[in-house]
């Protein structure tokens, strides 16, 4: 059982910056990957950025070079530094955690989401 809690959302002006954080707690063997998804009104949830335990990252094309994902394996946290924010970045952002067991079994957990609004 794993609990996932996001923080850091809010209202930001276009061109501004915001940092989202996510913490995982509970009982698990290890965290294989930590990801940020977002869902705007009327749209499907989409992957924004992800990072593996080894530090490999991937980004959606729309945020590449503007957002940076990072993780602290010792603290079981992941952050998303967002810069040059645009109105189209407005969405609920969700933290996704994929844990692995000792033999490689995978489980997925989601946070409740945090609202990011980019508007003047």
The 3-class SS string of 60-105 reads CCCCCCCEEEEEECCCCEEEEEECCCCHHHCEEEEEEEEEECCCCC
Residue 59 has pLDDT above 90, yes or no: yes
Mean pLDDT of 98-118: 93
Hey, how many other C-beta atoms are within 10 angstroms of the C-beta on 16? Answer: 14
Predicted pLDDT at 39: 98
Predicted pLDDT at 104: 79
What is the pLDDT confidence band of residue 100, given thresholds at 50, 70 and 90?
confident
Residue 29 has pLDDT above 90, yes or no: no
Cβ–Cβ < 8 Å for 19, 45: no
What is the pLDDT confidence band of residue 1, given thresholds at 50, 70 and 90?
confident
What's the maximum distance between 2 C-alpha atoms anywhere in the chain?
50
Phi, psi of 87 (to 5 degrees): -55, -35
What order do you get walking across the sheet with 77-82 strand by strand? 2-7, 18-26, 77-82, 67-72
Of 76, 94, 80, give the one whose Cα is nearest residue 31.
76
Mean pLDDT, the chain, rounded, equals 95
């Amino acid at each position: 059982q794993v609990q996932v809690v996001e923080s850091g959302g809010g209202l930001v002006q276009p061109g501004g910056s915001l940092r989202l954080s996510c913490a995982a707690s509970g009982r698990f063997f290890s965290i294989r990957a930590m990801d940020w998804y977002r869902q705007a009104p009327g749209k499907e949830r989409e992957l924004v950025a992800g990072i593996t335990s080894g530090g490999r990252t991937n980004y959606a094309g729309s945020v590449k070079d503007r957002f940076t994902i990072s993780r602290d394996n010792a603290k079981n946290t992941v952050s998303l530094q967002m810069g040059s924010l645009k109105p189209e970045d407005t969405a609920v952002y969700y933290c996704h955690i994929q844990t692995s067991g000792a033999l490689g079994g995978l489980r997925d957990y989601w946070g409740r989401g945090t609202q990011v609004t980019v508007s003047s």
